[in-house]
Structure 1
Amino acid sequence: MVNGEGVDDGTSPGRLQGGRLQRGGLPGGGLQGKVALVAGATRGAGRGIAAALGEAGATVICTGRSSRAGNAASDYDRSETIEETAELVTSLGGAGVPIRVDHLEHDRVRALADRVRGEFGHLDVLVNDIWGGEELAGDPAQWDTPIWRLDLDAGLRMLRLAVETHLVTSHFLLPLLIERPGGLLVEVTDGTTEINASSYRISVFYDLAKASVNRLAFSQGHELASHGATAVAVTPGWLRSEMMLEHFGVTEDTWRDALNPERPDGPVAPADFATSETPRFVGRGIAALAADPERARWNQRSVTAGDLAREYGVTDLDGTQPDAWARW
């Protein structure tokens, strides 16, 4: 059961078998000796997932386009880098390895796979979290614009960033994942299969992008099963990413100020922002999933960060188990 502090006390049916649990239900050392690669680890969910895998003791290869060496290839002109993420992984008990990669460039991803094979010999966990299309979706005033009025090039760019990158990454890296049984592929998206099947999401291009990634987990899970590997689609809830906090003019320490309807110094967040989560929350669920010896039972499923938290007893950094998707 999860006790009053949101910590698994060991009696929950979702408790990991073997290995100790740290506060928050995180498997302490549960991924020691495992090699994970988080594609799109620069910021947001990708950084949170990489950090949580590091908490669990994994070696985490952090890829992305934004590097201290420059971020000209990135769709975002932001300060976060893969080196920062790798350093965070290491500070939390794992081993962070930053590698600058544009996952639309086939030769770069092929070289990444060769490097992983040469330096580590295998891959246990692959997380496809590449996105980069948030600005292409436009602000709320542009949502619900019909396809014939949308910028076609921007829409197709969104699909390349959200879907083609995942296909390219899987093509070159899954051969490493299936070399020994037990590999885990996580496809990170926005909204579950069920939610996206019944809800229109912003625009034709955005809607297709998010629904497609869920289907990728289903189809790749079909192909991976015979190799003893598992594919799962995972969606965070309302993520307090660097960009989201910046939008509301708050920090992680002051994020609740955005809910104040009388705040004088920034936009007011909708009431649902109260159920938002840090990027580490979805990461902790994925880390627990990766450490579960029976993870194959999740194959081809589409789940939320909240689903994983309830199953494994993990919590967010403040000890809570937020679930922004519950209202859906």
Structure 2
Amino acid sequence: MMYDAPPLAGKVALVAGGTRGGGRGIAVELGAAGATVYVTGRSSAAGRSDLGRAETIEETAERITAAGGVGIPIRTDHSRPDEVRALVDRIAAEQDGRLDILVNSVWGGDPLTDWEHPLWEQDLDTGLRLLRQAVETHVITSRHALPLMVTCRTGLVVEVTDGNTARYRGSFFYDLAKAAVIRLAVAQAAELKPYGVAAVAITPGFLRSEAMLDHFGVTEDNWRDGAAKDPNFAHSETPAYLGRAVAALAADPDIMRRTGRALATWDLYKEYGFTDADGTQPDFAAHWASALEADYGPLGEPL
């Protein structure tokens, strides 16, 4: 009996910042689609990052493999060009120079974000550190990884952000970082287009990450209880939803039609038909329009 191969069988991916949250969701779903996924981050079995969380890249790699792919964890600090160069050299050596999918999902900025004060009252060193962590790491990673994709003249670069419009995100350095990541996708798309490589930015809706579950004092099993603290949490989505959006994009043979755009899970599910882990199709933009727009204004047009 003949079986169809998984849509990303034979593809090689690098998910930078895949320890937890959206990065982990993307890495696992790329694996479920058949890809070999190099997953990187600073939290590993060898020690935690300064965030102090328990999730590790080894756990993510195990989930990738269990989902049907091949997970390869490599501890990497993406703010260090020498470590990123060594990472890419290893991928090139092990995969015969091939890299099909690059996901820039490094973040780590939550403890650095000041939601209470305007720019002129914020600590400058902390704000600049956020930008280095959330933007420079993406630049460093692309600088070293893109030559593999250019040589192969195919592939997809994904920049993970928050929001896909020009709407202000509530904190100066946070907003600057997330908007800058969209511009990274636009700029890379322009320079990569002659080589057949696409670049996009993508945002989830209200992401139900491990940290967010902790914040609401719930687990994935009873997450709906969190809506008692914030009714909007009832419209959240798991990292798998974001991961399935990215996997669908990576498998799209006509992905170049989207290059340079800022995309969202709440639009992509309508075209690709993917669901969240529980079979639902969360649409945070629709929730915003019905419940939040009157108080906070429209989300705005995608960039």
- 1:189 equivalenced with 2:164 (yes/no): no
- Find the partner of 2:60 among 80, 85, 88: 85
Q: CA deviation at 1:320?
A: 1.0
How many residues end up aligned between the 2 structures? 285
Residue equivalent to 2:197: 229
TM-score, normalised by the number of residues in structure 1: 0.85
Alpha carbons 2:159, 2:185 under 8 Å: kept: yes
Q: CA deviation at 1:146?
A: 1.4
Structure 1 segment 6-155 matched on structure 2, within 5 A: 29-71=6-48, 74-121=49-96, 122-138=98-114, 142-143=115-116, 145-155=117-127
Structure 2: gaps of 5 or more residues: 289-298
Q: What is the alpha-carbon distance in structure 2 between the residues aligned to residue 63 and residue 307 of structure 1?
A: 28
Structure 1: gaps of 5 or more residues: 1-18, 21-27, 261-267
1:107-140 Cα distance to aligned partner (Å, 9 max, x none): 00011111010011210000000000011114xx
Q: CA deviation at 1:200?
A: 2.0
SS class of match (1:233)? strand
1:166-202 Cα distance to aligned partner (Å, 9 max, x none): 000000000011222321000000010x2xx1x2222
SS class of match (1:178)? helix
Alpha carbons 1:49, 1:284 under 8 Å: kept: yes
- Find the partner of 1:287 among 243, 247, 263: 247
SS class of match (1:309)? helix
SS class of match (1:191)? coil
SS class of match (2:285)? coil
Larger RCO, structure (CA 8 Å, separation 6 or more):
1
Q: CA deviation at 1:244?
A: 0.3
SS class of match (2:22)? helix
Alpha carbons 2:226, 2:234 under 8 Å: kept: no
Percent identity of the aligned residues? 59
SS class of match (2:39)? strand
- 1:214 equivalenced with 2:182 (yes/no): yes
Q: CA deviation at 1:236?
A: 0.9
Q: CA deviation at 1:305?
A: 1.2
Which one has a larger percent helix, Structure 1 or Structure 2? 2
1:268-290 Cα distance to aligned partner (Å, 9 max, x none): 1x221111000000100110110
TM-score, normalised by the number of residues in structure 2: 0.92
SS class of match (1:214)? helix
1:208-266 Cα distance to aligned partner (Å, 9 max, x none): 10100011100100001000000010001111100000011101110001123xxxxxx
Residue equivalent to 1:324: 284
Alpha carbons 1:75, 1:132 under 8 Å: kept: no
